[in-house]
Structure 1
Amino acid sequence: MSGIDYKDIVLRKALPDESDRLYDLVTADERWTEFNAPYFPYQTPTRDSFEQGLFQDLLEGRNKKVIEYRSQPVGTVSCYWVDENTRWLEAGIALYDSRQWGKGIGKQALVAWISHLFDTCDIARMGMTTWSGNPGMIACGESIGFKIEGRLRRVRYFKGTYYDSIKLGVLREEWQQLYDMTERR
């Protein structure tokens, strides 16, 4: 199966026969929901809603892809237009299996994904948004070349505490200086 290969990971479309496997990945260890915008209501998807939603997006593989590490799915990368007319694109990542955290998988997946998006989209900048309650995501973004471009103070209220919304970004020319676009192929 073709995908985007980079070091120890592959970003790829979902396979038609792996709905159950990916559903179990997303729902078995929901620790990821503590960091992935937990101030928005989350409910474990039903199998049917998963198959009609996220799984369909992963099968299509355009705006969402499976992260495979050592031949095992461990998460997803995604992108969405904040404003397609002005070419404002944001990226995201979710590592569902908490046993895989801290291994550099997220960094590798984001380098491959951001490089792919710069290769395939006519954009000058790539953005990511997180919150101050997710210092690991902030550190990951900064470690691969993103800069904190904005901080909206105390706009995320969660479990009795206010948190900041953090905007990170990297310009195409900054990315090209950091990553040889041919080294990941």
Structure 2
Amino acid sequence: MKHDVILRAAYAHEKETLYRLVTQDETWTQFNGPYFPYQTPTMEEFGYDLFARMSEGKEMRVIVYNELPVGSVSYYWECQSTRWLEMGVIIYDSKYWNKGIAIQALRQWITHLFEQLDIARVGLTTWSGNPRMMACAEKLGLRQEARLRKVRFYQNTYYDSVKYGVLREEWFEALNI
């Protein structure tokens, strides 16, 4: 199978390119937890926050599709002392949505996380207002572990918080490793 998607750390010379990617088409903010406040970062803010994390390449990596940066994958600790890790994916440019890029990226990212970190589970939390992310999680074989009903209020409508997860043994069994 040809791999159209690679994950990598950002290159130093990509700061302006990645800044434009994140800020030029902000449609992604309507699906990535829009109930949390978002403000377009300045180039300076982008440089010391998001770009710094992308450049380090540990907790966040750039998604490259056919040699073009299109998004990012990341993880964060919900509770590091109990090894509770959550991950996320964003395809910033909406013209690259619905191409299976997020699925390819997350497949690589989940494998990487299990190979590099001493964890038993990888989680992904989304909301019922993002049906594409829910479908992505299910296509990857993540199980819906919780649905917190009507806990996200956005544009005068209540939405559910939906939590997915996969255990290490389930993941590698599905990959036949």
Q: Does 1:51 align with 2:52?
A: no
Residue 62 (str. 1) matches residue 63 (str. 2): no
Per-residue deviation, residues 83-122 of structure 1 (Å, max 9, x unmatched): 1111110110000010000110000000000000000011
1:99-149 deviations in whole A, cap 9, x for unaligned?
Answer: 000110000000000000000011111100000000100110010110100
2:140 corresponds to which letter in structure 1? I
Distance 2:176 2:72 in 1: 24
Q: Which residue of 2 aligns with 1:146?
A: 142
The whole-number CA distance in structure 2 between the counterparts of 1:140 and 1:97 is: 17
Separation in 2, partners of 1:180, 1:63: 26
1:38 aligns with 2:34: yes
Question: How many Å separate the matches in 2 of 1:176 and 1:18?
Answer: 34
1:19 matched to 2:15: yes
CA distance in structure 1 between the aligned counterparts of 2:142 and 2:83, rounded to whole angstroms: 18
Tell me, which stretches of 5 or more residues in structure 1 are unaligned? 1-5
Aligned 1:109-148 pairs, distance under 5 A = 109-148=105-144
Structure 2 unaligned runs (5+)? none
Identity of aligned residues (%): 55
Q: Give the Å deviation of 1:54.
A: 0.2
Residue 171 of structure 1: how far off its partner (Å): 0.7
How big is the shift at 1:179? Answer: 1.5
Aligned residue type for 2:56: E
Structure-2 residue corresponding to 1:176: 172
> How many Å separate the matches in 1 of 2:51 and 2:175?
31
Q: 1:106 is matched with which residue?
A: 102
Root-mean-square deviation over aligned CA pairs: 0.9
CA distance in 1, matches of 2:49, 2:175: 33
Q: Secondary structure at the match of 2:115?
A: helix
| Moved beyond 2 Å, runs of 4+ | none
For these two proteins, the number of residue pairs brought into alignment is: 176
Paired with 1:18 and 1:137, the residues of 2 have a C-alpha distance of 27
Q: Which residue of 1 aligns with 2:77?
A: 81
Give the structure-1-normalised TM-score: 0.93
What SS does the aligned partner of 1:43 have? coil
Match of 2:153 among 154, 157, 163: 157
Distance 1:148 1:174 in 2: 14
Cα distance change, pair 152–60 in 1 and its aligned pair in 2 (3 A): same
- In the alignment, residue 138 of structure 2 is paired with which amino acid? E
Q: Distance in 1 between matches of 2:141 and 2:114?
A: 14
